[in-house]
Amino acid sequence: MASRHEQSSRVARGARAASEISRRMTAFSPTRQKLLDVYRGMLATYGPQQWWPADSAFEVVLGAVLTQNTNWSNVERAIANLRQADALSLSAIQRLPREQLAQLIRPAGYYNLKTQRLLALCDYLSACQSLQSLAELPLHEARSGLLSVWGIGPETADDILLYALDRPVFVIDAYTRRLLVRLGLAAGRERYEDLRRGFERVLPPDVALFKQYHALLVEHAKRVCRKTPACESCCFASDCLQRI
């Protein structure tokens, strides 16, 4: 039978192992140089991206909700319907009968759910008085306000903060996570907030840089770093861990 000393050593070893596993799951500590190298590599390959594709800040807000779980071409069809119905403003969306709004955004999928989310977000924006008023709040207040809206998660909130309100928040999405893992910069199990903070900690709080960086990550993922990647034409092929 193990002595009390052996038992407590075993417990301590277990606690150390659990803490190491937890550290590996959440640690994301890239260097500024590495993140800028990745950025410059994509910029040199794909050139500047014109993001977010929208004519107004409110259209960005709509697109940020509509793009959840669907591709952008479906969002464009939904936005085109809203444009045709002259419903690309906060007040116009709120005036629409719920059923009509659902039909207009139907091409974006999950249209009943997205109708509820859009209306909840519009209620919140009305309570703030305007998008501009939200933009003038301290960043953490604006972010937690958006996150308090039903159906608005961190990626949608950060899309709105960065692309509609010009606030220096780094957007994380599945493409970002995939590239970080493939380049050996992340394990893939990190929480959204750890990845976001990792970028924001080392990069300058530069809205234009953050906008361009996220857009380039999306472009890179669509062009080459797909689920089945096209590594032979990738700008990171020489130092990617998962090059095929």
The 3-state DSSP class for residue 184 equals: coil
| Contacts of ligand SF4 in 197-226 (CB under 6 A) | 224-225
Residue 219 C-beta: closest distance to ligand SF4, Å: 12
Q: Token digits for 40?
A: 């410059």
If one asks whether residue 237 binds ligand SF4 (CB under 6 A), the answer comes out as yes
Among 143, 182, 196, 214, binds ligand SF4 (CB under 6 A): 182
User: What span, in angstroms and rounded, lies between the C-alpha atoms of 78 and 111?
Assistant: 10
Asked if residue 149 lies in contact with residue 114, where contact means CB atoms within 8 angstroms, the answer is: no
38 binds ligand SF4 per the rule CB under 6 A? no
**DSSP code of 217?**
H
- 30 or 154: CB nearest ligand SF4: 30
Closest to ligand SF4 by CB, 122 or 224:
224
CB 88 within 8 A of CB 56: yes
Nearest to 172 by CA among 184, 151, 148, 190: 190
Piece of the chain touching ligand SF4 by CB under 6 A; list 42-50, 74-82, 105-113, 231-239: 231-239
Candidates 43-51, 79-87, 107-115, 235-243: pick the segment binding ligand SF4 (CB under 6 A).
235-243
Q: How far is the CB of 70 from ligand SF4 (least distance, A)?
A: 23
How far apart, in whole angstroms, are the C-alpha atoms of residue 67 and residue 141?
Answer: 24
